[in-house]
A and B are shown apart, each in its own frame.
Chain A
Amino acid sequence: MRRTSRRPDAPPRAALARLLAVPALLTGLAAAVAVAAEASHEVEGRRSGWLYNSPETQALQDDEFINPGMFAVERGRTLWSTPEGSAGKSCASCHEEGSMRGVAARYPVYDEKRGGLVDLTTRVNLMRTELMGAPALGYEAADMLAMTAYLGRESLGMPMQVAVDGPARPFFEEGRAFYFARRGQLNLSCAQCHDDLAGRKLRGDTISQGQINGFPIYRLLWRAMGSRHRMFEWCNTSLRAEPYPAGSREYLSLELYVAWRGRGLPIETPAVRR
């Protein structure tokens, strides 16, 4: 007797046809998405890291259903409306649906009260500690990355546009100086690779422009989400340079400069990178 394992409502021929149709459909869809995406990954010569990825990694990012970073976005969406802390409030208690659109695209910002830069991570913690009566989350805590991934996703497709004038100017200049300073035993600046050598090969790796419009990213090397500052730490350590702590003034200033450097690039959080 022949055994078949199939759903009673799916006759074998139809199932086969469906199996054959799915890859064709996906290929067509991926091609369409790739063409549409290509147009928006480059703005006036500023190129998203997406363009330096393999087609496989690009596809992993572009398909919401398989992008591993979408787990963080979904977790963030849940946290957004979950009351926490002594005030008994959630983010959604005060912030209207859709009101976060565009916020991630203009961070980091100068904060009058703190007299310094605030990035999305620090803002989330300030809201938690000062308004919700909830404890601060760790800079790279999974729930923090979920929050910033959700907030990033809310600005999907919006051009990065940070303010660098007025009180932000000194921090911007500091960030620029950081970017051009050689550091570490390997004696390299950010600019030497990401301005001058983008597209060239470091062994099997293609050097990107180091744009930050996709953060927090799901990094295959980490098998985890990571913030912009974690990437700065990783890069500095790779040069055998002493990194600065995530959330430090140095990295906030660098983040501001690098966000300005990529101005106009659409937010594509959660990006998938090597």
Chain B
Amino acid sequence: MRRGRAAVAGLALAALAAGGGAGAAELAPLTAQPGDPARGRDVVRDLTKATCLICHALPIPEEPNPGNIGPNLAGVGARFSAGELRARVVDATTINPNTVMPPYFRTEGLNRVLARWRGQTIYSAQEVEDVVAYLGTLRQP
């Protein structure tokens, strides 16, 4: 089920000329139901879902101790469109093949995934939409 969606998502990847140079890949929504930013805020903090906070700072006062591997995500909603954010969350290697960011919605081409997680994505399609909606609200740098 999720595997199928991930494949469709891959096909939907489209590089648009608008604005962002090499990193301008956009991705259409994965679900018909629009993302819920409040749920997305919970998802990005969820320790069972490779929380963004391991690597990124987020403007969440209750989370004072984020990692510093990736860029601070404050203002990310002003820097990228929803389609660009979605492409990065789904599989950031499509933008930068050497990225350390895990693919949150991909099952193909992974090496020795633990049996417990095999064939599963980190986020569900709806969770991707919720997270993208949440990130879109982060407009203040």
Name A's B-contacting residues (CB within 8 A).
181-188, 192-193, 196-197, 200-204, 236-237, 240-242
Contacts and interface: CB of A to CB of B under 8 A. Distances in A.
Given A182-B110, A185-B113, A202-B67, 6 more contacts: A188-B102, A201-B69, A202-B54, A203-B67, A240-B113, A241-B113
- Which applies to chain A's interface (DSSP): helix, strand, loop or mixed? loop
Nearest to A182: B111
Given A197-B69, A200-B69, A201-B68, A184 B100 contact: no
A187 B110 contact: yes
A214 B116 CA distance: 32
14 contacts: A182-B111, A184-B114, A185-B122, A187-B93, A201-B66, A201-B68, A202-B55, A203-B67, A236-B112, A240-B113, A240-B116, A241-B112, A241-B113, A242-B112
A202 B50 CA distance: 11
Contact of B67 (A185, A187, A188, A200): A200
B75 to A, nearest CB: 20
A202 B112 CA distance: 23
B100 A197 contact: yes
Contacts of B103: 187
From A186, A187, A196, residue with most partner B Cβ within 10 Å = A187
Interface residues of B, number: 23
A191 to B, nearest CB: 10
B48 to A, nearest CB: 11
Given A192-B100, A203-B53, A203-B54, A185 B66 contact: no
- Considering residues B53, B103, B110, B115, which has the most beta carbons from chain A within 10 angstroms of its beta carbon? B110
A186 B50 contact: yes
B67 A183 contact: no
Contacts of B111: 181-184, 187, 241
A122 to B, nearest CB: 23
For A181, A200, A203, the residue with the greatest tally of chain B CB atoms inside 10 Å of its CB is: A203
B60 to A, nearest CB: 13
Contacts of B117: 185, 240
B137 interface: no
A185 B65 contact: no
Contacts of A241: 111-114
Contacts of A240: 113-114, 116-117
B103 to A, nearest CB: 6
Q: Which 5 pairs across A and B sit closest by C-beta, in order of nearness?
A: A186-B102, A183-B111, A242-B112, A185-B117, A240-B114
A201 B64 CA distance: 13
B84 to A, nearest CB: 20
